[in-house]
Amino acid sequence: MKLDKRLLQQLNGLRILVSGTIGLGLLVAIMTIAQAFYLSKTINLVFLHSRTLADVSPCLIYFGIFSLFRSLFHYGQQNIAGKIAFKVKTDLREKIVRHLFKLGPIYIKSGRTGELSNTILKGIDSLDAYFSQYIPQIFLSALVPVGILLAVFPLDILSGIVFLITAPLIPLFMVLIGDTAETLTKKQWHTLSRLSAHFLDVLQGLTTLKIFNRSKDQIAVIAKISDHYRIATLKVLRVAFLSALTLEMLATISTAIIAVEIGLRLLYAKIDFQSALFVLILAPEFYLPLRQLGTKFHAGMEGVAAANRIFTILEEPAEHSSARPVLFNLRSEEIVFDTVSYGYKSKQLNAIENLSFRILPGAKVALVGPSGAGKTTIASLLLKFIRPDCGRICVGQHNLSDISAPEWRKQIAWVSQNPYLFHAGVAENIRLAAPGATEAELITAAKLANIHHFIDSLPEKYATDIGEKGARLSGGEAQRIAIARAFLKDAPFIILDEPTANLDPEIEAMIHDSIQTLTRKKTVLLIAHRLSTVHDADQIIVLVGGRIREKGDHSELIRQDGIYKKLNQAYRGVT
């Protein structure tokens, strides 16, 4: 039997429901035996003892009652098993989403969004059959045959021995095909994940594909992956159908052996008719749970294949919250990088190496340098999306690693170059920064971000749906909504990833004015792509290859005639 210990651990908090499933399975076995007893007794009385309907009415009533209770117990078991599956799936979805929030955006960006979505949706849904069918059937496959053996052995030892010898053949065959079925199911799941990931990539890049006239090529690629998935699915079905056929043959042959040996002994008066009929009626019921287990075995394999990816995500180490509360205030405490280094798993070289600098309270610090210099890595460290490989980041007298991420982020506002806007209303997108904000506070933040008049002109004003990723807004409008979020949060420390990049001069000037208001009396870290935005910075840090090459304000760095001056000249078009 293929039982994943990690999946079984999900049942730890559901012991009452699991016990109920086992108890109902045992009652189903008892009802089955009782049915067979009264049915064999009724037939024996009618055909051998010529009893009338009135004589056998009590037996028929008992038979009907036990049939009804068997159906009710079986329905109850399926209902409880369904509740167990629903509870496990809900808990796993909550766990995986909570864990993804702990892992942060760096982990999500390292994989494919489509594959991750497929795991959370299709992968967890595939566990339904594992918990609602496969696991309960294991209990039934153990309880029903054991109960029947206990009823048969006192009446007919020989038939009991035949049951004992033939019964292990079915699970033995399942074990033999288990590795093959598991390998094929894993391949099928991997192909489905690949198809889901690629299809989402194509949808997200549809505009680019149309511009370069490559949409037909991608249709061919999707068709090719779909064909691979079709072949993988057919291979799984082939094994499932062949194994089902073999299990049916084994059960049929075993039942036939019971029938032959009972018939011969009945012919020579070695066994009474009622006992023979009782055993013969129970023979198919004895093998039925084992046959059904073989059928549900493949549904269980799909769940195990999905579980491998699910637990790969859940077992990824994430930052743990601080065991004790840490009091800090970014309005008055400096942030110190002390020989900090960090390297991404996908790269052999460190993104940053031995960085040491200070961000004083109320100061504006700018990071400049070529692409890949480590500017975004520094921002990710300060946002606690990642942790330093070595060195430390201190906040006053505290190590940043000792401060829980939720508490730390309460005092930080982040305005990125490409802010993410959700498929919701304008007000809902701005209120992400402060869900409890009043309408007056919301409008004030929008006015400070120079976006209120635009919102007020929309058909439904602040309730207007802006589409996925702000598809119905321009770049400048989306950026100003992100700045409105920062105004609403009113955090003492602001991280800006060049929010005025790729905008026309008029909108850039408008956003620049909003940022000047936003950053007044605040600590600011600015990731600069346009060097004109850093001239008023208290400290400019020049990064090259993950190392600090120059530090100082604009005037000092220009006088040094170094990297910053060359970057400034290149930006201004001076040779």
Same domain, 517 and 569: yes
Mean pLDDT (whole number) for 436-445: 83
User: Contact 509/316 with Cβ under 8 angstroms?
Assistant: no
In a domain, 556, yes or no: yes
pLDDT per residue as tens digits for the range 262-273: 888 888 778 888
Q: Which domain does 383 fall in, by range?
A: 343-411+492-575
Which of 239-248, 258-267, 285-294, 313-322 shows the lowest mean pLDDT across its residues?
Answer: 313-322
Q: Which residues make beta-bridge pairs with 220?
A: none
Same domain, 376 and 290: no
In a domain, 369, yes or no: yes
Give the tokens for residue 523.
């600590």
CATH number at residue 186: 1.20.1560.10
Chain Cα centroid distance, residue 292: 30
- Give the per-residue SS3 of 118-157: HHHHHHHHCHHHHHHHHHHHHHHHHHHHHHHHHHHCCCCH
In a domain, 182, yes or no: yes
Same domain, 475 and 517: no
Average pLDDT of the residues of the chain: 79
Same domain, 152 and 299: yes
pLDDT at 281: 87
Same domain, 103 and 206: yes
Same domain, 347 and 483: no
pLDDT at 574: 46
Asked if the model's pLDDT at residue 337 lies above 70, the reply is yes
In a domain, 326, yes or no: no
Which of 248-252, 504-508, 527-531 shows the lowest mean pLDDT across its residues?
Answer: 504-508
pLDDT band at 68 (very low <50, low <70, confident <90, very high): very high
- The dihedral formed by the CA atoms of 129, 134, 136 and 140, expressed in degrees to the nearest 10: 140
In a domain, 327, yes or no: no
Answer with the residue of higher pLDDT: 323 or 134: 134
In a domain, 253, yes or no: yes
Count of structural domains, the chain: 3
In which element (H, E) is residue 356 found?
A: strand 352-359
- Give the per-residue SS3 of 64-111: HHHHHHHHHHHHHHHHHHHHHHHHHHHHHHHHHHHHHHHHCHHHHHCC
Same domain, 137 and 235: yes
Same domain, 187 and 231: yes
In a domain, 329, yes or no: no
Same domain, 96 and 178: yes
Same domain, 304 and 445: no
Please tell me which of 105-109, 142-146, 316-320, 347-351 the model is most confident about, judged by mean pLDDT. Answer: 142-146
Please name the residues in contact with 575: beta carbons below 8 A apart, sequence gap of 6 or more: 569
Asked if the model's pLDDT at residue 399 lies above 80, the reply is yes
pLDDT at 69: 92
pLDDT band at 323 (very low <50, low <70, confident <90, very high): very low
Among residues 464, 490, 516, which one ends one of the domains? Answer: 490
CATH number at residue 380: 3.40.50.300
Q: Report the predicted TM-score, pTM, of the whole model to 2 decimal places.
A: 0.71
pLDDT band at 72 (very low <50, low <70, confident <90, very high): very high
Burial bucket for residue 573 (CB in 10 Å: 0-12, 13-18, 19+) = exposed
In a domain, 193, yes or no: yes
In which element (H, E) is residue 336 found?
A: strand 335-342
Among residues 490, 525, 548, which one ends one of the domains? Answer: 490
Burial bucket for residue 506 (CB in 10 Å: 0-12, 13-18, 19+) = exposed
In which element (H, E) is residue 412 found?
A: strand 412-415
Which of 48-62, 97-111, 394-408 shows the lowest mean pLDDT across its residues?
Answer: 97-111
Q: Which residues make beta-bridge pairs with 340?
A: 355
Tokens 């400096």 — which residue?
334
Same domain, 498 and 519: yes
Asked if the model's pLDDT at residue 498 lies above 80, the reply is no
Among residues 459, 490, 521, which one ends one of the domains? Answer: 490
pLDDT per residue as tens digits for the range 118-138: 777 777 877 777 888 788 888
Which of 146-150, 322-326, 340-344, 562-566 shows the lowest mean pLDDT across its residues?
Answer: 322-326
Same domain, 211 and 296: yes
Which of 85-94, 340-349, 534-543 shows the lowest mean pLDDT across its residues?
Answer: 340-349
Burial bucket for residue 479 (CB in 10 Å: 0-12, 13-18, 19+) = buried
